[in-house]
Amino acid sequence: MIVDMTGLSFLPGRAAPRGWGSRWTFAFCALGAVAASCGERAHSQQGAGPLATVADDTRHPSTAPARALNRDGKNAAVAPMPARGGNPHPPDPSGARSTGVAAALALAPGSSTSVGAADDGSLEGGVQLPKAGPGFRHNDRRPDQARYGTVELVQALIRAAKAAEADGLPLMINDLGLSEGGPIAQHGSHQAGRDVDILFFYRDRKGSPYPSIGVPVEPDGTGVDYRDLSDPSDDVPLRFDAERTWRFCQALLEVAYDHIQRIFIVEHVRDRLLKAAKRLGAPARIVQRFGQITCQPGTPHDDHMHVRFYCTPQDMAAGCLDKPPTYPWRRAALSALDLKPALYRGRPSAKQRRARAARTTTAEQAKNRATRRYGKFHREVRAFLERRKSWAKKTSPPRPFCR
């Protein structure tokens, strides 16, 4: 789940929704991914912000159009985006729950079952995240098939987004998992319903909210929406909205305090969020827990966060398996129920490694595709890529749960 970052990856863009800019182009990322895979512009992982990172596994998301995968790892067609006014929710043949906000919140705990590990698991009774609700929307350019998670995860996202709702643009949520879990295109994890990718909030140079498009955040809190990588004239300078992003993080911890195992995020964004929490007077227990569960993995996660939930005790009985770390409070909570941590000890088979490689693309392959399309990147893009090397590799801070 931890990989060194040594190159770039580029993701194809598509036309933006009305009012979101005239052109969305290739997104490029630092090599590597940890646990799931992210790196996405508001419209998709494959159409990530031109400088979006991939996040969580060992390789970058595929540059091919987004496709879901069957449980056996083979490609399954993803319904095309409907014409404006069309039905965005085709029937789900799997029998998983397709719900609205009220119906999702009415589901009882244990309505779903996460089985196995995040990168080698499945999902029973998956709950579909609604396309939109108070304070949030699912990325229109991600496939509907990737909107499923456990009841605990989906309810927590809905409640936290509503609690953190404010004037401006909604929280942008990317992939969760498939209705029955299992391998999913552009991800190494997201297989057991306990993972979700969430984009940051941004503001433009006038201070107005800017659509969440997966723009990498630099250590000084700035970023640039590079649209055409060869043309500097359409670059849009941005600033990371630490206060708004923190309000969501706080809300998520308040509604799922003991459920969250890990938030993968780059170190300098973590630092900015902790400073924002202090400015906003956030509760000490929330700030402390956020500091303990946040860590930069082998890819920087400088354009989004990847949240992972723990197995519930009920799901553990059905074969749900966690991966390290196991925090002292987690051990104590399980001990109170006469349980011990159930950890995944397996290693991917040769077949699994081949399947993972088939649904991802290497940095060199992606770079070659982008070069064929754009030619030489403009000077500011090249300068950014050089700067990014300084924070792209996994860090080893002196914190007990981040190694």
Identify the pLDDT of residue 308.
98
Per the prediction, the chain carries an average pLDDT of 78
Model confidence pLDDT, tens digit, residues 81-123: 222 223 333 344 444 666 799 999 999 998 999 999 999 999 9
Identify the pLDDT of residue 361.
60
284, 254 in Cβ contact below 8 A? no
28 pLDDT higher than 80: no
* Separation CA 319–CA 151 (nearest Å): 17
Identify the pLDDT of residue 396.
75
Model confidence pLDDT, tens digit, residues 297-326: 877 889 999 999 999 999 999 999 999 999
Identify the pLDDT of residue 70.
41
* Separation CA 402–CA 151 (nearest Å): 28
Q: How, if at all, do strands 236-240 and 202-204 pair?
A: antiparallel
Identify the pLDDT of residue 353.
82
pTM of the model: 0.80
Distances (CA, A) of 249 to 67, 205, 223, 243, 341: 29, 24, 20, 10, 25
Identify the pLDDT of residue 358.
79
Domain covering 8-78+92-392: architecture: 2-Layer Sandwich (3.30)
Model confidence pLDDT, tens digit, residues 212-245: 988 999 999 999 999 888 999 999 999 999 999 9
Identify the pLDDT of residue 359.
72
